[in-house]
Chain A
Amino acid sequence: EAGVAQSPRYKIIEKRQSVAFWCNPISGHATLYWYQQILGQGPKLLIQFQNNGVVDDSQLPKDRFSAERLKGVDSTLKIQPAKLEDSAVYLCASSQELAGGRKQETQYFGPGTRLLVL
């Protein structure tokens, strides 16, 4: 079974530029998460999708960050314009929806995209 795929793996941009990250979850996983992991910290949830709908985006800086999952499969996270403090690893994860609408407890993570904003 293929894991969660993310691209690019690394990205260097200058502040005020825009950047986009792509994630393809494990096949059949209905729930998709984007996390921001700043150096020395644990992952922080930015946004969670259930199929193509947003479940939680309370910690997404909506003035500069956006995400979509139009067909309920792969997803794109965009930052526009980027700030220095956006330098971090952006992790995508996915999980299954179990019978009866229950959510699987285990999240499967991709390798992440390491962003450096200069």
Chain B
Amino acid sequence: AQSVTQLGSHVSVSEGALVLLRCNYSSSVPPYLFWYVQYPNQGLQLLLKYTTGATLVKGINGFEAEFKKSETSFHLTKPSAHMSDAAEYFCAVSPPGSGGYQKVTFGTGTKLQVIP
């Protein structure tokens, strides 16, 4: 069974500082990995995803994540935090492959607070 673990339910950073949100996955084969963002009272929005190919994935709003198979990690980073980045971030995993349906499993989320 696949799963993701997000380290830290709450992360605070100063405006302009590096953002690092941690995600480790458990899967018997290299999975597909996702980061979603959820703003208050809204649904989830895809930030970026890793399926195959380049392990460093760039997403929207200046975020990026690197798939590290040896560490089973997919940490989300952004060089400089902006006030508008304050939200809850979810890491998610699904089985690879193009056949059948894809069941996505979400982590428990990390709330990012940006301090002015």
A→B interface (CB under 8 Å): 4, 31, 40-45, 48, 50, 55-56, 91, 93, 100-103, 105-112, 114
Contact = CB atoms under 8 A, between A and B. Distances in A.
A37 to B, nearest CB: 9
B106 interface: yes
Given A48-B101, A101-B99, A43 B41 contact: no
B83 interface: no
B61 interface: no
B43 A109 contact: yes
Contact of B102 (A100, A101, A105, A114): A105
A101 B99 CA distance: 7
Interface centre among B99, B104, B109 (most CB of A within 10 A): B104
B42 interface: yes
Contacts of A106: 34, 46, 49
Interface residues of B, number: 26
A56 B103 contact: yes
Interface of B: 9, 32, 34, 36, 41-46, 49, 51, 90, 92, 94, 98-104, 106-109
Q: Is the interface of B mostly helix, strand, loop or mixed?
A: loop
A62 B71 CA distance: 39
Interface centre among B32, B36, B102 (most CB of A within 10 A): B102
Given A41-B108, A42-B90, A111 B42 contact: yes
A42 B43 contact: no
- The list of the 5 closest CB pairs from A to B, nearest first, reads A109-B43, A42-B106, A102-B98, A109-B44, A55-B101
B44 A91 contact: yes
Nearest to A55: B101
